[in-house]
């Protein structure tokens, strides 16, 4: 079948352009550009790029507007958080709802914070009976959020048995209705267990390839590098012996 010259024209160019811009521009659009530039692909690519970057600026503009909206949203959320009932303390804190008819927090439908502290706890998210910080009754029957504060911890649910671990200053976890959860929390301990451990760690660091290479590099420029403590100490010891005992080590 014989193609009309118009349709076959720029066929190769169209293929290239479709590969380049197929996901952002329609075929007719591309053809229009191509015909407008008399098949000069380079000129066309420049034109398209200009158009696209203008569009991108416009998109970025609207994204920034969205961001501002989000920020406003967050400010609102923070305002909400200000109406906080119950204290949060280091360890596990659970946010939930009280159902005591006489409780002000329950009447206002405000969530309350229950502080659990350090330790292990497991619960079913909508079958709890935690003590309400507002009315003092064990009527916090559902939990919606967990906040773990200044603690090494892990959290797992019946939906996700692999525990999520963390030791950040403050971690929030949404609690889903109808699932059971297991939370473990302990005080953050220092990771260097003893002074010796710390010394070993520093010595290991001094032996690392990075340090050795760095020292070699510095020495190239005639910069004196203080030798690791052990070597230095034995040299100093020798000097001291020489001075105190006139070089006689057997006194």
Q: Which residues of the chain form contacts with Zn ion (CB under 5 A)?
A: 98, 100, 103, 132, 134-135
Say which residue the tokens 């070597």 belong to.
Answer: 231
Structure tokens at 22: 């197929």
Burial 8-46 (b: 16+ CB within 10 A, else e): eebeebbeebeeebeeebeeeebbebbeebeeebeebbe
Least distance in Å: CB of 127 to Zn ion? 17
Of 91 and 111, nearer to Zn ion (C-beta) is 111
Of 114 and 135, nearer to Zn ion (C-beta) is 135
- The dihedral through the CA atoms of 21, 23, 25, 28 has a sign that is positive
Of 33 and 123, nearer to Zn ion (C-beta) is 123
Least distance in Å: CB of 103 to Zn ion? 3
Least distance in Å: CB of 128 to Zn ion? 13
Least distance in Å: CB of 173 to Zn ion? 23
Distance from C-alpha of 54 to C-alpha of 62, rounded to nearest angstrom: 13
β-strand 152-157 against 180-186: which pairing, if any? antiparallel
φ, ψ of residue 142 in degrees (nearest 5)? -140, 145
Of 17 and 103, nearer to Zn ion (C-beta) is 103
Least distance in Å: CB of 135 to Zn ion? 3
Of 108 and 212, nearer to Zn ion (C-beta) is 108
């Amino acid at each position: 079948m014989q193609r009309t010259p118009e349709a076959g024209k720029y066929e190769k160019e169209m293929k290239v352009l479709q590969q380049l811009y197929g996901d952002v521009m329609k075929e007719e659009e591309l053809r229009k550009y191509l015909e407008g530039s008399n098949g000069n692909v380079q000129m066309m690519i420049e034109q398209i790029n200009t158009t696209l970057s203008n569009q991108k600026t416009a998109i970025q503009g609207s994204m920034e507007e969205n961001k501002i909206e989000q920020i406003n949203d967050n400010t609102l959320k923070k305002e909400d958080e200000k109406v906080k009932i119950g204290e949060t303390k280091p360890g596990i804190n659970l946010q939930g709802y009280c159902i005591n008819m006489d409780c002000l927090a329950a009447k206002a439908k405000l969530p309350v914070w229950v502080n659990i502290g350090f330790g292990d706890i497991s619960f079913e998210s909508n079958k709890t009976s935690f003590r309400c910080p507002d009315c003092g009754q064990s009527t916090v029957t559902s939990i919606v959020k967990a906040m773990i504060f200044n603690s090494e911890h892990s959290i797992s649910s019946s939906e996700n048995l692999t525990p999520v671990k963390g030791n950040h200053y403050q971690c929030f976890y949404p609690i889903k209705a109808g699932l059971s959860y297991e939370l473990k929390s302990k005080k953050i301990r220092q990771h260097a267990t003893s002074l010796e451990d710390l010394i070993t760690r520093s010595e290991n660091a001094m032996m690392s390839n990075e340090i050795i290479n760095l020292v070699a590099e510095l020495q190239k420029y005639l910069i004196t590098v203080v030798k690791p403590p052990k070597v230095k100490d034995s040299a100093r010891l020798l000097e001291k012996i020489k001075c105190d005992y006139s070089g006689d080590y057997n006194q």
